[in-house]
Amino acid sequence: MAAAAAAASSAAAAPPVPIASAVAPAPGAPRSSKKPKKPEKEDIGGIPTNSLVLAKWRDGSWRRATLLHKQHIRDGAGEPTGRFNYYVHYDDFNRRMDTWVNSDNVKEDPDAALREAEAERKEKEDVRVEKRQREDGGTEEIATFLEEQHGEAEGMDEAALREHEEVTKVKNVNFVEIGRHRMETWYFSPLPKELWQDEIIDTLYFHEHSLRFFKHKAEMLRHAAKWPLKHPPGDEVYRHQGMAVFELDGAKEKEYCQNLSYLAKFFLDHKTLQWDVDPFLFYVFTEYDEFGYHFVGYYSKEKYCDAGYNLACILALPCFQRRGFGRFIIQFSYELSRKERRVGSPEKPLSDLGQLSYRAYWTWVLFGVLRRFQGPELSIMDLVRITSIKPEDVMATLQYHGLIKYYNGTYVLCTDPALVEAKFQKYNNKKGPVVDPSKLHWAPYPITVKRDKWTIRAKLQARTEEEM
């Protein structure tokens, strides 16, 4: 127990494992559309790694996949049986669907050569050759890689993307258990080396109030018996209808916040692990009952963000997803921005699920304002002022729903009230908790910045100056 506890708590002191710094491939995209790597030379047998294969999907269908890793299936005495478990990435699915399948469910793809040629052709297509004027007056050709997709991979160069894929290609933990829930993990999390050394851990046990993690359940239960709290550390800033929210300062609750980052990394592919938690505030969302406060999700936020982000990372544990908790967390982040009298936006790039959830939230809020609106004129900045949603996100959402039209040299908001009502009801008729701002006991974190360009006032002023 002592060793495991030390390992868990050493999370705070452990040196960072070198993982790629930012993002994964765009949502739903193949791992990489570039030419697949050649099979490795030294092999333990079976189908070579990096081969293009067909693998059975959950519904029994055979799908195109890439074989990323393999292990012997061993008998009771630990001897190899000559059969293998293969770790595959399905070409058509997000990395979170990567999984182990046994030899019966993987076969070589007769069309592998065709797929390879196709990947090669795509790779060439992705390179655009441009001519650039040299200083001596001549021209030279430069190759520019076209962006694969505008999404999660944004901001990450090809080399970094490959490195990220290579280092994190196989999940190191199959399941996590926290409180009453057991969940399959989605991605690799760079756990401290004392706890994990290249082997695959079947289940990692998190204590739900301290978030310390253990390889053995008995160790976690011994830790739980001694742990004094039945809730996360930090200040409770919201409590209403079974939901309680705690605010934690990363500088004060370092260990908890770092453990939280390890947990979140199992479900967030494209975010850097936050080793340095000091500049962040963490908001932990719990459901409470007579047994204590049960972890549902969290979001982190920089104490001061020059880019105007009001949320850095958001997570609702998979066992709570699609029940409205994501919307609750997002709504909460905007309620804080409203109290601060600032505009806010989530840190980019968004994951596929982040994008879907934010679009749903923005639509719900903006259409809610539009349906109530009675006056003669409503501008984008009015919507910003009412909702604290950044002007770019307001515009993008209205454009997505086809509400912005170009008319007589200017952009106007143009819609049918019945359509607004129908859209609003679609997003409003949703299960799940809703934030009641009157139950929020919170004061903004004091910042020392003199001219804060993200206040609503500054934004309105900037827009007026632009128009003059």
Q: CA 448 → CA 249, 303, 335, 452, 455, distances in Å?
A: 17, 11, 22, 9, 14
* 396 is a site residue for ligand ACO (CB under 6 A): no
Per-residue contact string for residues 212-251; x = within reach of ligand ACO by CB under 6 A: ----------------------------------------
Element (H, E) at 427: helix 417-428
Number of residues this chain uses to bind ligand ACO (CB under 6 A): 25
Residue nearer to ligand ACO on the CB measure, 109 or 152:
152
Window contacting ligand ACO (CB under 6 A); options: 163-171, 216-224, 315-323, 378-386: 315-323
Helical H segments across 312-408, by residue range: 325-340, 352-372, 380-387, 391-400
d(CA 358, CA 335): 15
Window contacting ligand ACO (CB under 6 A); options: 61-69, 165-173, 278-286, 344-352: 344-352
Across 87-117, b (16+ Cβ under 10 Å) vs e yields bbbbbebbbbebbbbebebbeebeeeeeeee
* 326 is a site residue for ligand ACO (CB under 6 A): yes
* 430 is a site residue for ligand ACO (CB under 6 A): yes
Residue nearer to ligand ACO on the CB measure, 115 or 181:
181
Specify whether 347 is catalytic.
yes
Measured from the CB of residue 345, what is the shortest distance to ligand ACO in angstroms?
9
Longest dimension (CA), the chain: 81
The letter for the amino acid at 230 is: K
* 316 is a site residue for ligand ACO (CB under 6 A): yes
Measured from the CB of residue 427, what is the shortest distance to ligand ACO in angstroms?
7
- Determine if the peptide bond prior to 349 is cis (ω within 30°): yes
* 350 is a site residue for ligand ACO (CB under 6 A): yes
Residue nearer to ligand ACO on the CB measure, 52 or 260:
260
Sign, CA dihedral 13-17-18-19, equals: negative
d(CA 163, CA 274): 19
* 357 is a site residue for ligand ACO (CB under 6 A): yes
DSSP three-state, residue 393 = helix
Using the structure block, give the residue that is written with the tokens 């934004």: 459
Tell me the residue number closest to ligand ACO, measured at CB.
Answer: 326
Measured from the CB of residue 190, what is the shortest distance to ligand ACO in angstroms?
17
List the catalytic residue out of 116, 163, 347, 421: 347
Residues 81, 72: contact at Cβ < 8 Å?
A: yes
Measured from the CB of residue 211, what is the shortest distance to ligand ACO in angstroms?
16
Residues that are catalytic: 347
Give the footprint of ligand ACO on this chain (CB under 6 A): 267-268, 311, 313-316, 320-327, 346-347, 350-351, 353-354, 356-357, 360, 430
